Amino acid sequence: MHTAARMYYVDGISQVEVARRMQVSTATVSRLLAGARREGIVRFEVPDLDEANEIGGALAGALGLRVVRVLDSSQPAALATQVASLLREAKLDSGSVLAVGWGRTVQSVINAGLPKLPDITVIPTMGGTHQTATHFQINEFVRSAAEQTRGHACFLYAPSIVSPELRHELLGDAAIARVVSLWDRVDAAILGIGDFQHARTMHDVDIAAGASERIAGDVARHYFDEAGTIQTWPGYDNLMAISPDQLRRVPLSIGVALGKDKVRPIIGAARSSMINALVTDIRTAEHLQEARP
């Protein structure tokens, strides 16, 4: 019971994956989770909704965002609930396009579950990297999101950074060209907000030492300073990713981020206008208020 509860509520692993790892049925996992709630192993606290709404409203105004959803819990299931609420409010119908980014928080939100949005098209915001960690596997996020929403997955079989010659060749492929063309008509996006300390491990990004000191974070490998100004680097023009301008045209672009180390990245992402909505927890929101964005 403890193991199932930890994997689902803490690690953000879906019930199907928990069942696979524990070699039991999903019905058994569901019973274990219900038992964990009954015995108090898992407890849910109802936040002060007025306080959360007040903080969210104040942050939305300070950051220039359409909406900020503030949660008392940082558990993936809680974040996923608010992301799902925003997606439902967007009224995505058949043929709508949902773009997904990468990162641990995006991974946790998708694993925790997305709402049914039949016949939407789910696409990645960018190509892949040489990194092997699960939170970098963006095509897998697309597959899982499409499965949960009952939509259709379109994968991008390309690296995120390529040479000019390879980029030209890749865009000649019909499947890749289709995904790239869909970046112009994204209706909603779920985006991770990276901090540059993690980006330093991405050896395919060559950012000069002087410029690196200014960088606060990134969205879809578009690095920015705290003022939201995009910082370019050698090879940036060959990036296989949705562009900042394309992200700025997305009607609902949800940034998901948690933790004190994400304060500067969140502020920069908001000022860059690549996100227009934010889902975070109350502790991160309080740190943002202290930063006086």
Question: What does pTM read for this prediction?
Answer: 0.81
Q: Own/partner pairs for 22-29, CB < 8 Å, 24+ apart?
A: 29/4
Domains of the chain: residue spans and CATH: 1-43 (1.10.10), 46-291 (3.40.50.1360)
Instruction: Give residue 263's pLDDT.
Output: 96
Q: Which of 238, 245, 241, 292 is nearest to 273 (CA)?
A: 245
Instruction: Give residue 225's pLDDT.
Output: 93
Instruction: Give residue 21's pLDDT.
Output: 83
Residues 18-57: b if buried by 16+ CB within 10 A, e if exposed: bbeeeeeeeeebeebbeebeeeebbeeeebeeeebeebbe
Instruction: Give residue 31's pLDDT.
Output: 76
Quote the longest CA-to-CA distance of the chain: 60
Compute the distance between CA of residue 106 and CA of residue 256 in angstroms, rounded to an integer.
7
Phi, psi of 69 (to 5 degrees): -100, 120
The model's pLDDT over 137-186, given as tens digits with 9 standing for 90+, comes to 899 999 999 999 999 999 999 998 899 999 999 999 999 999 999 999 99
Instruction: Give residue 46's pLDDT.
Output: 45
**Tens digit of pLDDT at every position of the chain (293 positions):** 567 767 776 666 767 777 788 888 877 877 776 677 667 666 555 455 566 788 999 999 999 999 999 998 778 778 899 999 999 999 999 999 999 999 999 999 998 889 999 999 999 999 987 777 887 889 999 999 999 999 999 999 999 889 999 999 999 999 999 999 999 999 999 999 998 765 555 556 666 655 677 889 999 999 999 999 998 888 899 999 999 999 999 999 999 999 999 999 999 999 999 999 999 999 999 999 999 77
Instruction: Give residue 23's pLDDT.
Output: 82
Q: Which residue has the tokens 């050698």?
A: 234
Compute the distance between CA of residue 266 and CA of residue 293 in angstroms, rounded to an integer.
10
